[in-house]
A = this chain, B = another copy of it.
């Protein structure tokens, strides 16, 4: 049994890690940290976990945590992660970090979109944890930077056709919609029930911090620098993310051929479902699961390809993908503990 610690267990992502790990047959959850709930059972923060875990939250430094687990998930805010992760690594553990702190390879770009980086030496060490693209590198990593939810949906959507040269890399427009759980569990008026329900809005238009992460990975996929227009929206739902992506077609492939390229690209992937039967992805079809559903349409009148990607922002967009990375790091079957089905309705 591999011993697992979660640093930052009282947020939605922490809870989601616990939900999935308690049914994972090859790991032992030995440590959950939370400042807010220190000394209290984790089930006080999350009554839904009752009956399946007796863990008590600890307020613990990374140094004290070292040695208590073989692998840590760090589910703390960016800027906190960069102070915690180095000590955990120094203690000999491997780390899957769910913050943004180690996703960007270029320190300058990081500091331009976030703030000063206190552990820049780790930027070259960290592997970007999108298994469908970087699987072989993840296997040997000490530190995996778990992708953001928006980038996961966008990269999985664009990788096949962008690599195949079917899309004009300078035409990319990403219109993404997320549920409210992406905003976390901290008390704030903006995500109160009454502010979100029966409403829809854009936010951080053309200035969201996931932009450079998307651009870094897309640039790598197509072999040259590019920029994208990225507009995130808040939808009145708890979980779920749908990205609608617009790109100008290069060449004269038809819709069926383009879909075929995408299907081939993900043929052996356990978590990618490409819809080729006329149905369209919908977030309710992936809820609670590690699936990312994809489909595309060709807008012939305008020679644009429209790609749709749906995932659960807390699972494939966070905790599920982190466990998928853990499985790769530990040599477990990649879908171990992740065969949980979508919950619909």
The segment from A60-68, A81-89, A298-306, A324-332 that touches chain B is A298-306
The one of B177, B244, B308, B343 that contacts A343, using a Cβ cutoff of 8 Å:
B343
Whether A198 and B197, one on each chain, are in contact in the complex, defined by CB atoms closer than 8 angstroms, is: yes
Q: How far is the CA of A280 from the CA of B207 in the complex (A)?
A: 14
Interface size of A in residues (CB-CB distance below 8 Å): 87
> Known contacts being A198-B198, A236-B237, A301-B206, is A344 close to B192, with CB within 8 Å?
no
Verify A48–B306 contact, CB threshold 8 A. no
Residues of chain B contacted by A205 (CB below 8 angstroms): 280, 297, 299, 306, 308
Find out whether the CB atom of A343 lies under 8 angstroms from the CB atom of B195.
no
A301 to B207, CA, bound (A): 10
Given A46-B344, A345-B181: A199 touches B237 (CB 8 Å cut-off): yes
A206 with B175: CB separation less than 8 A: no
Quote the shortest CB–CB distance from A115 to chain B (angstroms): 20
A223 contacts B by Cβ under 8 Å: no
A242-285 contacts to B, CB under 8 A, are 242, 244, 246, 273, 275, 277, 279-285
For residue A189, CB closer than 8 A to chain B, the reply is yes
Instruction: Please give, as numbers and ranges, the residues of chain B lying within 8 Å of A202 by CB-CB distance.
Output: 242, 244, 280, 308
Contacts of A19 in B (CB 8 A): 341-344
User: Which of A103-111, A119-127, A226-234 forms part of the interface with chain B?
Assistant: A226-234
With beta carbons under 8 angstroms apart, the residue of B48, B191, B198, B231 that contacts A341 is B48
With beta carbons under 8 angstroms apart, the residue of B51, B177, B231, B306 that contacts A273 is: B51
Given the complex, which residues of B lie within 8 Å of A50, measured CB to CB? 273, 275, 285, 293
A15 to B246, CA, bound (A): 34
Within 8 A of B (CB), among A304-345: 304, 306, 308, 310, 339-345
B341 to A238, Cβ gap below 8 A? no
Least CB distance from A305 to B in Å reads 10
Residues of B within 8 Å of A297, CB to CB, are 205-206
* Known pairs A192-B191, A193-B180, A199-B284; A306 contacts B242 (CB<8 A): no
The residue of chain B having its C-beta at the shortest distance from the C-beta of A315 within the complex is: B343
- Alpha-carbon gap, A96 to B340, bound state (A): 24
B contact residues around A6 at 8 Å (CB):
none
In the complex with contacts A177-B233, A187-B187, A237-B199, A343-B192 CB distance below 8 A:
no
Cβ contact within 8 Å between B282 and A339: no
Once the chains are docked, how many angstroms separate the CA of A19 from the CA of B198?
19
Q: Mark A21-43, 1 if CB is under 8 A from B, else 0.
A: 01100000000000000000000
| Minimum Cβ distance to chain B for residue A101 (Å) | 23
A200 x B231 contact (CB < 8 A): no
6 A-B residue pairings within 8 Å (CB atoms)? A19-B343, A199-B287, A200-B283, A200-B310, A227-B302, A233-B244
- Name A's B-contacting residues (CB within 8 A): 12, 15, 19-20, 22-23, 44, 46-52, 173, 175, 177, 179-181, 185-189, 191-203, 205-206, 227-229, 231, 233, 235-240, 242, 244, 246, 273, 275, 277, 279-289, 291, 293, 297-302, 304, 306, 308, 310, 339-345
By Cβ-Cβ distance, the 7 closest A-B pairs, closest first, are A199-B284, A194-B345, A201-B282, A206-B299, A48-B342, A193-B196, A175-B175
